[in-house]
Structure 1
């Protein structure tokens, strides 16, 4: 914001100076050609005094010369023909005044006059003082606007990090209050949508368990009277609904943790070791390779644990024989990646990060509901980072990567 302020301020000053210079040039161009030549009496007295002391200052003389002896530009020559007084200054800074005698046709020459400047101590400072005053006035006009814009920017950044009612730091008397009011109104609507989403997640996740329990009970009662294939079909439908409910519960848990995120500096190697031990039970079907730099980084342990477990669960679901879990520091940014040797994601990377997107894989009996990777993306955003999906060069399958700054401002 400071850079924008100084850039805009410099632009205004430059535009103001150019405007004043342009008006000055226009004024000089259109001012009256009939200049009123005035000579101070003190000039003659000073010349007489200098002449008595044998000074070098010449006294003016009135002479008559031939009109043809003076070569003048056409526009100046036209003024002379009209009987107007003209002034010509030579290279020695001596000024001569000429006027044509309309009766005789000759030119009357009066001069020379030495150019004199009034010796004042204030004149050299008039122009700088004027421009400085103009710059200071513009600064006084611009500073409140950019100050309020900076406050509004900070409120928006704080709201993005932790959605909560925005502070009304911009007063109603501010010039940008209409913009601030729109921001405040928008933030209230966003908070309402967030709360509605949380309530909906809780309702769907918890209330749906009751009819599921009744369905299971009824299935056990009628199972002797139906075919085995029909029973399996109903059981698969119930399992699919339960899977959706579990995903919803994870989603609601992560959403609710946005208000209780606790960023701290921890050993990433010890953190990944704990998660690796939880997934060691899958090593009979899939080998998991874990490698991490032994460094201290800042992150929220709870939400990051959910994100990594979702990535590993997804990798185990689609991998063939092995998975790689790696962490490294690149340009002071944390890079955590999970790679597998499965079929990959093709061109569906962006789609898979959206909620409720589904990837059908014929070799797998389980179909996800798209909340796992969406949660990972949300966790990356909470850490001021990004989540990306690409092809694994090492294993040939999918590569899912989370990047976030090593030193977050929350720490």
Structure 2
């Protein structure tokens, strides 16, 4: 990247130097040094202009800057403008203590008319050079930004569309390499999720069958320990299966109007396996909301499953919709969260030290919420006293 910077900087310096030299040559051709000491015949014979007079003045009466004083001492003729229209010429006389003055002479308007145009053209050329050098960089950066946004929405192998001569080519090449590595990791993650979620279930079923056959040979404590281990492995497989569904929904998600009452009625049969001691209550406010029903079903299933592990008697699920958006909340009467809300939304982060879960449920909820551009809030339930998890597209009250 440093080579591209040095090359761009050197090219910019050389281009500016070339423009400055070109305009200096133009100015020298239009206004050679001797021209400023040539008298304009029209200013001499025009009746409205006074005739110039020649006079001698003392050298010490003429206050000059050092550069003009040196020219005068060298015998050069210098011109000074006393006002906007009058011009006087000075030259050292034979007596070094005196100076010959000729004037006043009418100033020509050519210099005042052309020089602003030349300066405007000069700075215009500098601006054009800067644009020609900077625009390709911003154009390539815009392409890279667009590619990065598309990659974030749908990770896939990229084809580098930046020229090798571009100033950001090393950056684009590094981004392309990292993007391809991420795609490989995502593919590996998908394959691993499918293998764990599907292939592990078959040996689990055989192990449960063998355990049922050997109940008489094993002590009750060993049977309970083996059943608990098998349940934990099966829960991990189920969580990875949710991960696989999550990857599929990421590409197939569709937002559509959903009637809240019908959506809740379809959810009820999924939770018949909950312990009888736990009461699950659904409620809704509003008629319909716009979301992906398959994805939100996974959200409700994960939140209710998490709540069932800690709830004592009650779990409440509420859906609310209005003109400003929609919200979903799941609350329980368990102990609540014992750590920061940011930690529990991370994958493989357990809520408690003795929790047998794998921390995937809330992570999946947060990912689905991001797809819907919704916010996830984790707090203590005001009504039940336990945990309360909600996702909402409605503006958060101050």
Q: Which TM-score applies when normalising by structure 1?
A: 0.74
Kept in 1: contact 2:287–2:321 (CA 8 A)? no
Residue 44 of structure 1 is matched in structure 2 by 41
User: How far apart are 1:162 and its partner, in Å?
Assistant: 1.9
Match of 1:263, SS state, is coil
Structure 1 residues 276, 218: CA separation in 2 closer, same or farther (over 3 Å shift)? Answer: closer
Kept in 1: contact 2:286–2:322 (CA 8 A)? no
Once the two structures are superposed, residues 245-301 of structure 1 have per-residue CA deviations (whole angstroms, 9 ceiling, x without a partner) of 222222223223334x1313212524642355346756963352523333442x332
User: How far apart are 1:306 and its partner, in Å?
Assistant: 0.5
Residue 356 of structure 2 is matched in structure 1 by 367
Residue 260 of structure 2 is matched in structure 1 by 269
Structure 1 residues 292, 65: CA separation in 2 closer, same or farther (over 3 Å shift)? Answer: same
Cα RMSD (Å):
3.9
Match of 2:387 among 366, 374, 398: 398
- Which structure 2 segments of 5+ residues have no match? 1-8, 25-32
Higher mean displacement: 73-82 or 375-384: 73-82
Once the two structures are superposed, residues 18-68 of structure 1 have per-residue CA deviations (whole angstroms, 9 ceiling, x without a partner) of x99xx89xx9xxxxxxx7574334x235422x2xxxx22122221123445
User: How far apart are 1:334 and its partner, in Å?
Assistant: 4.4
Kept in 1: contact 2:54–2:103 (CA 8 A)? yes
Residue 285 of structure 2 is matched in structure 1 by 292
Kept in 2: contact 1:286–1:320 (CA 8 A)? no
Residue 380 of structure 1 is matched in structure 2 by 369
Match of 1:223, SS state, is coil
| Matches of 2:219 and 2:265, distance apart in 1 | 45
User: How far apart are 1:83 and its partner, in Å?
Assistant: 5.5
Structure 1 residues 125, 108: CA separation in 2 closer, same or farther (over 3 Å shift)? Answer: closer
| Matches of 1:237 and 1:377, distance apart in 2 | 28
Within 5 Å, which residues of 2 pair with 1:311-322? 311-322=303-314
Match of 1:338 among 319, 330, 340: 330
Higher mean displacement: 308-317 or 208-217: 208-217
Kept in 2: contact 1:356–1:370 (CA 8 A)? yes
User: How far apart are 1:82 and its partner, in Å?
Assistant: 6.5
Residue 30 of structure 1 is matched in structure 2 by none
| Matches of 1:386 and 1:216, distance apart in 2 | 41
Within 5 Å, which residues of 2 pair with 1:7-26? none
Q: Does 1:151 align with 2:151?
A: no
User: How far apart are 1:310 and its partner, in Å?
Assistant: 0.8
Residue 189 of structure 1 is matched in structure 2 by 181
| Matches of 2:331 and 2:117, distance apart in 1 | 72
Match of 1:212 among 196, 199, 204: 204
User: How far apart are 1:115 and its partner, in Å?
Assistant: 1.6
Structure 1 residues 352, 221: CA separation in 2 closer, same or farther (over 3 Å shift)? Answer: same
| Matches of 1:355 and 1:119, distance apart in 2 | 75
